[in-house]
């Protein structure tokens, strides 16, 4: 677990810097928005990343605490603080996933050299980190036999729609399958998720 | 606390239904999106609400458990499960906030009678519920002297930008102040948040 904590620490300090870069890019966009719709749109993304940042500010010291003070026996689901750590990590897996999509959405709009270069850099790192966090948490959740259910699991069964190489396939058909595969009415009952 | 739990239960079961209605509305929009940008945009919102739904599926039974089994003495920060409940409630306050904005963003696009009526209904209830959750949690966090820091607190100091009545003031100026008030470079250091 020590080795994994080291990787988590690295990933979440990296993404914390990335959020700040992204927010700095969005700030003038919000100030100079051409209408209310555009302003709300970027302001909304800004706020979601701001919420994520405020959670990371708590999570990163928690990871450090486990890195420095704890023995291997403390990495157990009977330890309440370890459970909290796992729960936060599972939440921030989605935070990373959503960040990749925020970057993709921004890439549709900001085509100039400077911003698209920055966005592509952040996107590349964040996507790789998201994949690694997802794989590590799948392994950890399995190892500790937590009851954690991944609400995105059925996406992953089909394909990972964040994977850019997958979009070389006809995008329309791919995403339609994805959307249909969700079947909100059928899939989102309490019984099927817990 | 019993009375507050009853209100939380009501609000989060209501918003759970609202998510399902919203997702059902978005599903055909995603399937019939005119381009990749639009598809990603609605798919992204769909997924964020899906993530929130999967958290509510865990939170609602936790609220019920505290409603049914616990005595007043269990509502204490020394009780780990109570801490978890408070933490989840604080997270879902942002979930409600973001939902109101998702509805506002959708209202910019879906102007037809049927969808705008539904969206406005959901928006009205969600905004009221968000305000109530925010007020109740401010009181509870104060009562138990938790170390919880609200990353949105400085928004609220100026005004609540979700409040539609506030947008009767010049929107451009209001939101510019809001955006400037955030000052990402200065405001989002670790030291200022914890
Ligand atoms: Fe988002
Ligand atoms: Fe969102």
CA A101–ligand 2 middle distance (angstroms): 10
Give the whole-angstrom CA distance, residue A145 versus residue A137. Answer: 11
Which of B16-20, B152-156, B189-193 shows the highest mean pLDDT?
B16-20
Domain boundaries, chain A: 2-146
CA B97–ligand 1 middle distance (angstroms): 12
CA A39 → CA A161, B110, B116, B173, distances in Å? Answer: 27, 18, 20, 12
Q: 10 Å Cβ neighbour count for B142?
A: 10
Give tens-digit pLDDT for A167-188: 433 333 333 333 333 333 333 3
Q: What is the mean pLDDT of chain B?
A: 80
pLDDT at A70: 61
At a CB cut-off of 8 Å and minimum separation 6, what does B173 contact? none
Q: Decide if A5 contacts A63 (C-beta within 8 A).
A: yes
The beta-carbon neighbor of B43 closest among A33, A84, A179 is A179
**A residues 116-145 near B, CB within 8 Å?**
none
| A40 part of contact set with chain B, CB < 8 Å | yes
Alpha-carbon gap: A168 to the closest alpha carbon of chain B (Å): 12
pTM comes to 0.80
Confidence of residue B96 (pLDDT cuts 50, 70, 90): very high
pLDDT at B16: 98
- Retrieve residue A36's tokens: 């209310």
Identify the nearest ligand to the CA of A94 by its number.
1
CA A98–ligand 2 middle distance (angstroms): 9
Give the whole-angstrom CA distance, residue A91 versus residue B61. Answer: 19
Q: Provide DSSP, chain B.
A: -HHHHHHHHHHHHHHHHHHHHHHHHHHHHHHT-SSHHHHHHHHHHHHHHHHHHHHHHHHHHHHHHHHHH--GGG-STTSHHHHHHHHHHHHHHHHHHHHHHHHHHHHHH--SHHHHHHHHHHHHHHHHHHHHHHHHHHHHHHHTT-----TTHHHHHH--TT-GGGGGS-HHHHHHHHHHHH-HHHHTSHHHH-
Q: What does the DSSP 8-state code read for residue A112?
A: S
pLDDT at B141: 86
The beta-carbon neighbor of B40 closest among A58, A91, A101 is A101
| A162 part of contact set with chain B, CB < 8 Å | no
pLDDT at A83: 86
Average pLDDT on B96-115 reads: 97
Q: Decide if A18 contacts A79 (C-beta within 8 A).
A: no
Give the whole-angstrom CA distance, residue A25 versus residue A118. Answer: 9
Q: Does domain B2-146 have CATH number 1.10.1740?
A: no
pLDDT at B150: 58
Q: 10 Å Cβ neighbour count for B157?
A: 9
Give tens-digit pLDDT for A17-71: 999 999 999 999 999 999 999 999 999 999 999 999 999 999 999 999 998 876 6
| A168 part of contact set with chain B, CB < 8 Å | no
Which of A112-116, A158-162, A183-187, B167-171 shows the highest mean pLDDT?
A112-116
Average pLDDT on B128-143 reads: 94
- Predicted confidence (pLDDT) at residue A129 exceeds the cutoff of 80: yes
- The more confidently predicted of residues B29 and A170 is B29
Cα angle A64, A68, A74 (rounded to 5 degrees) comes to: 95
- Predicted confidence (pLDDT) at residue B104 exceeds the cutoff of 70: yes
Q: What does the DSSP 8-state code read for residue A188?
A: T
Average pLDDT on B62-72 reads: 81
Alpha-carbon gap: B2 to the closest alpha carbon of chain A (Å): 24
Average pLDDT on A92-119 reads: 97
Give tens-digit pLDDT for B76-90: 766 778 888 999 999
The verdict on a CB contact (< 8 Å) between A152 and B84 is: no
Establish whether this prediction's ipTM goes over 0.90.
Answer: no
pLDDT at B193: 29
| B104 part of contact set with chain A, CB < 8 Å | yes
The verdict on a CB contact (< 8 Å) between A23 and B184 is: yes
The beta-carbon neighbor of B24 closest among A97, A161, A185 is A185
| A166 part of contact set with chain B, CB < 8 Å | no
Give tens-digit pLDDT for A139-161: 998 887 655 555 555 454 444 56
Nearest to A179 by CA among B73, B33, B66: B33
| B74 part of contact set with chain A, CB < 8 Å | no
Nearest to B106 by CA among B23, B13, B12: B23
- The more confidently predicted of residues B63 and B167 is B63
Q: Which residues of B touch A185 (CB under 8 A)?
A: 20, 24
Q: Which candidate in A56, A151, A170 is best for mutational testing of the B interface (most B CBs within 10 A)?
A: A151
| A56: Cα within 13 Å, side-chain hemisphere | 27
At a CB cut-off of 8 Å and minimum separation 6, what does A22 contact? A49, A99, A102, A103, A106, A119, A122
Q: Decide if A24 contacts A75 (C-beta within 8 A).
A: no
- The more confidently predicted of residues B41 and A76 is B41
Alpha-carbon gap: A4 to the closest alpha carbon of chain B (Å): 23
The verdict on a CB contact (< 8 Å) between B54 and A151 is: yes
Give tens-digit pLDDT for B9-25: 999 999 999 999 999 99
The verdict on a CB contact (< 8 Å) between A171 and B94 is: no
- Predicted confidence (pLDDT) at residue B100 exceeds the cutoff of 90: yes
pLDDT at A43: 97
The verdict on a CB contact (< 8 Å) between B180 and A31 is: yes
| A171 part of contact set with chain B, CB < 8 Å | yes
Helices assigned H by DSSP within chain A? 2-31, 36-69, 80-109, 113-143, 153-158, 171-182, 184-187, 190-193
Average pLDDT on A112-119 reads: 97
């Amino acid at each position: 677990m020590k080795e994994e904590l080291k990787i988590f620490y690295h990933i979440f300090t990296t993404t914390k810097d990335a959020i700040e870069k992204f927010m700095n890019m969005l700030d003038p966009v919000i100030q100079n928005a051409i209408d209310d719709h555009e302003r709300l749109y970027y302001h909304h993304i800004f706020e979601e990343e701001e919420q994520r940042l405020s959670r990371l500010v708590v999570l990163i010291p928690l990871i450090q605490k486990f890195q420095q003070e704890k023995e291997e026996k403390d990495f157990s689901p009977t330890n309440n603080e370890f459970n909290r750590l796992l729960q936060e990590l599972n939440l921030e897996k989605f935070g990373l996933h959503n960040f990749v999509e925020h970057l993709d959405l921004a890439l549709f709009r900001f085509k100039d050299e400077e911003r698209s270069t920055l966005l592509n850099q952040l996107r590349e790192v964040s996507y790789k980190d998201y994949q690694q966090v997802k794989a590590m948490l799948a392994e950890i959740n399995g190892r500790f036999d937590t009851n954690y259910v991944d609400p995105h699991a059925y996406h992953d069964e089909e394909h990972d729609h964040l994977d850019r190489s997958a979009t070389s396939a006809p995008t329309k058909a791919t995403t339609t399958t994805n959307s249909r595969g969700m079947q909100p009415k059928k899939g989102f009952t309490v019984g099927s998720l817990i």
